[in-house]
Structure 1
Amino acid sequence: MKPIFKYLFILVAVFLLFGIYVFFPISAQGKPLERLADTTRISQDLQVITQTAVSRNYKNPTVLDSVAAYINRELKKQTNSVNEQKFKVENQEYKNVIASFGPEDGERIIVGAHYDVCEEQQGADDNASGTVGLLELARLLKNANLKYRVDLVAYTLEEPPFFRTDYMGSAVHAKSLYDHKIPVKGMICLETIGYFSEKENSQSYPLSFLKWIYGDKGNYITLVQKFNNGAFPSDFKKSLFDSNSILTKSFKSPSFLTGVDFSDHLNYWKYGYSAVMVTNTAFYRNKNYHTGNDTLETIDVPQMALVIDGVFRAILALE
């Protein structure tokens, strides 16, 4: 992008964000609601998924299979409808794990998170936190009265070298929905939901002026949306703002802004589905991102549990 266009874009973005800030709420304080998610089970799940003998990446398919098997077993405790979506990459088999809740027919809500990691690390925040979020959501959804079918999908191969390729587990899943003309109300991507900080200047942004609007403390959860993506993002935002026990902020921008499409929701956008990302903003906050320091000890389990509570309540509240 030429410098003059870059500055023009920033100027337009400032006015757009100021307008959004004035006319549409971008932040909601947490409410004193009953705690639902079980922090003990969350900690146990995190321990199992992060403490593998070697890293759960594409180079270690046996470890990926063992994690997928654990996810499968835990989901089967909550629903009889669990299956594996298998696919091959360079003659090696990989798998997504899918659990379904609620009415069999009608529109679906997809909630997804990837369980693989980048290179050699525990990947506690990225993205054991999102994967464990799925497992705890399953426990909450088990006896819930649901208006929509909810599919929880644990993906593999989100990380490099497969990111932005058709080999991503989420790309395989989104394409299968599209090919079979399955109606989808919306997709929710859980990506890095376990790291929080009350320290000043613990939060950065793709554009520095955003700190004036969103603050400099990494003590909130974010709903990331893109422009022109249907009604679901706005509906889910309203439900999440009304249903969360943790400070919640909404960020809406063009998809080309760095980080906005950095997870599995991008593949649902590709096929025209409404999709959002629930995240702590990953590397804009967590400097352990994609390093060996992304460990279990850095996860704020009580705050992560509140995020899961909010997503669960928001799903129930959707009209």
Structure 2
Amino acid sequence: MKKILLFCSLFSAFHLFAQPSLTNVEVTLGTGNTMTITYDLAYPSNDLAKVTFRATERGGLIFGFDTSNATGDVGEGIASGMGRQIEWDYSAYAPIPDFRLMLVAELAPSVDIQALVEQVDSTRMSGDLTFLEGIRHRTAGAEHLQETKDFIELQFAEGGLEIAKQQFDFNGYQAENIIGRKIGTEEEGEVYIIDGHYDSVAGSPGADDNASGTAGMLEAMRILAPFGFKKTIRFIGFDLEEAGLVGSIEYVQNGIAQQENIAGVLNFEMIGYFTEVPNSQEVPLGFNLLFPAAQAKLEANQFRGDFVNVIGNGAASSLTDAYETAIENYVPQLNFISLEAPASWQTLTPDLGRSDHAPFWVAGVPALMLSDGANFRNPNYHGAGDTKDLVDFTFMHDVVQAAVATIAEVAGIQNAATWWTDTEFTTAVDEVAGCSFSISPNPAKDFLRLQWAGCQVGNFNIELLDINGRVIKNYLNRNGQNGQAQMVDVRGLEKGIYFIKVSDGEGQWARKVLVD
């Protein structure tokens, strides 16, 4: 079993940026639908910070609640200090039992992108790749595949990301896309993705394919996670790429929330093989006819494999421009060739779609594959010789640097610290009533069935409320001591979010329900 390597001083370099910090944040309930958020604010400068307070329902993706009535240490001109306080009257959202809250502390000086990309650490990526190298296949390397999943999740947790696992069955195998979300501070519904698949084929240790891409994704996460971004960034480790892009297809078809727009994807697919040997770079049949400018560039360079392929769909032209600009401004030593896949790429150039960017292309989402060229350059592709000793970490370093600069620019990096939490103010129904309680179906179209049994209290009340707290249905003095069911008619109600509230005079419990 491999040991997970921890980098305890991961973010120490970020003191270079005079960032603010938010620590010791506590949320307490007051009387009359009020809450108090207490926090410590620190930053190594004489500037004053802008502190923003945001809220939505627990687990919500979009911070849509009006918090303009919050008072205290919020807004412009907040000095560093301990015990800062914000008070918020949430009466307008009183039916909601719990909230997702967010604080953003921002300083005016912008982030130095050049200094940011210089934090990319090839030694750290080498350490990650040392751990990741080895067969990561659902049957031939199941133990190390699970270790890899755990490693990715641990790194996301260390980065303070919101972690989700998109789980699905694949021929009896429990597959997982592992997702780390850096929540945007202003336009959180606009999402940029950095991804890399973490599985390998059965017969290969997969150092380049695709431990290099996974390590690159994790390094980009470590550099970017300590900052604020106006838009959301998702870091994703895709499963089952080698089985036919199964994980990314599952994500595109079932993992993107309706409230979100995927603004762009950077897919790391084999970013570790580099060679200056002439004629080491091959191309697919017909490449010279479809991409004459790229062909001329290759010929002028004697077909050396010393560049990164930047391959996008038509929708990704601005993202391609952003990556090229990042190279020119911050990583000028990195050679690149950019290709725009034709609209009929699936028939004309299928080789351009052999990774996890392809399902995004099919969906019309802007996406780039950043790659060393796979089997068109690396002779050890899918073989036992795909080992760490053949990975060029300087090349990896440069590719990741350009990706970091690209996302910093397009996602709107801020010199800011962020904090968020999901509150747990309400008491579970079994603590309130001493019984089991269930609601089904949820979402519902016609009726909700509330079922309870074994309740210790004599009676409790059940209410159905809309998002504004208006009581739609009211069922008083339900007998809690005998197994009963209550049918709630939701026919005729507008589609949307409602709440079931149960109370016994001493405590209350609520659950969100959806009317579909």
Q: If the length of structure 2 is used for normalisation, what is the TM-score?
A: 0.51
Tell me which moved more, 234-243 or 78-87: 234-243
Distance 2:223 2:363 in 1: 29
Structure 2 portions without partners, runs of 5+: 1-113, 289-293, 413-516
The answer to whether the 8 A contact 2:213-2:268 is kept is yes
Q: Which amino acid aligns with 1:110?
A: I
Compared CA separation, residues 231 and 208, structure 1 to 2 (3 A)? closer
Distance 1:76 1:287 in 2: 36
Distance 2:117 2:195 in 1: 25
Residue 170, structure 1, aligned to residue 248, structure 2: yes
Distance 1:136 1:33 in 2: 12
Compared CA separation, residues 301 and 83, structure 1 to 2 (3 A)? same
The equivalences for 1:304-315 within 5 A come to 304-315=396-407
1:223 alignment partner in structure 2: 310
2:122 to 39, 42, 57: 39
Structure 1 runs, 4 residues or longer, greater than 6 Å off: 31-34
Which structure: larger Rg? 2
* Per-residue deviation, 1:195: 0.6
Compared CA separation, residues 179 and 316, structure 1 to 2 (3 A)? closer
Residue 90, structure 1, aligned to residue 171, structure 2: yes
The answer to whether the 8 A contact 1:38-1:305 is kept is yes
The answer to whether the 8 A contact 2:320-2:338 is kept is no
Q: Which amino acid aligns with 1:220?
A: F
2:195 to 97, 106, 112: 112
1:303 to 368, 382, 395: 395
1:186 to 247, 264, 270: 264
* Per-residue deviation, 1:236: 4.1
The answer to whether the 8 A contact 2:161-2:225 is kept is no
2:240 alignment partner in structure 1: 157
Deviations 1:38-66 (A, max 9, x none): 12211110011114xxx211214343222
1:213 alignment partner in structure 2: 297
2:338 alignment partner in structure 1: 250
Compared CA separation, residues 34 and 63, structure 1 to 2 (3 A)? closer
Deviations 1:235-262 (A, max 9, x none): 4444444343412221123223142101
Structure 1 portions without partners, runs of 5+: 1-30
1:9 alignment partner in structure 2: none
The equivalences for 1:117-156 within 5 A come to 117-156=200-239
Higher helix share: 1
Distance 1:37 1:235 in 2: 19
* Per-residue deviation, 1:169: 1.0
2:277 alignment partner in structure 1: 199
Residue 261, structure 1, aligned to residue 340, structure 2: no
SS in structure 2 opposite 1:218? coil
Higher relative contact order (CA 8 A, sep 6+): 1
The answer to whether the 8 A contact 1:123-1:290 is kept is yes
The answer to whether the 8 A contact 2:193-2:236 is kept is yes
* Per-residue deviation, 1:220: 1.0
Distance 1:71 1:274 in 2: 25
* Per-residue deviation, 1:234: 3.9
Q: Which amino acid aligns with 1:253?
A: A
2:35 alignment partner in structure 1: none
Distance 1:87 1:228 in 2: 29
The answer to whether the 8 A contact 1:114-1:155 is kept is yes
The answer to whether the 8 A contact 1:103-1:147 is kept is yes
Tell me which moved more, 267-276 or 120-129: 267-276
The answer to whether the 8 A contact 1:129-1:194 is kept is yes
Tell me which moved more, 239-248 or 270-279: 239-248
1:75 alignment partner in structure 2: 156
Q: Which amino acid aligns with 2:399?
A: V
* Per-residue deviation, 1:200: 0.8
For this pair of structures, how many residues does the alignment match? Answer: 281
Q: If the length of structure 1 is used for normalisation, what is the TM-score?
A: 0.81
2:147 to 57, 62, 66: 66
* Per-residue deviation, 1:145: 3.7
Tell me which moved more, 176-185 or 126-135: 176-185
Compared CA separation, residues 125 and 154, structure 1 to 2 (3 A)? same
The answer to whether the 8 A contact 1:265-1:277 is kept is yes
Distance 2:197 2:376 in 1: 19
* Per-residue deviation, 1:284: 1.1
The share of aligned pairs that are identical, in percent, is 26
Higher strand share: 2
* Per-residue deviation, 1:177: 4.1
Compared CA separation, residues 94 and 251, structure 1 to 2 (3 A)? same
| CA RMSD of superposed structures (Å) | 2.3
2:37 alignment partner in structure 1: none
* Per-residue deviation, 1:34: 6.3
Q: Which amino acid aligns with 2:220?
A: L
* Per-residue deviation, 1:84: 1.7
Q: Which amino acid aligns with 2:338?
A: S
2:363 to 260, 268, 271: 271
Q: Which amino acid aligns with 2:362?
A: K
Residue 286, structure 1, aligned to residue 373, structure 2: no
The answer to whether the 8 A contact 1:202-1:285 is kept is yes
SS in structure 2 opposite 1:315? helix
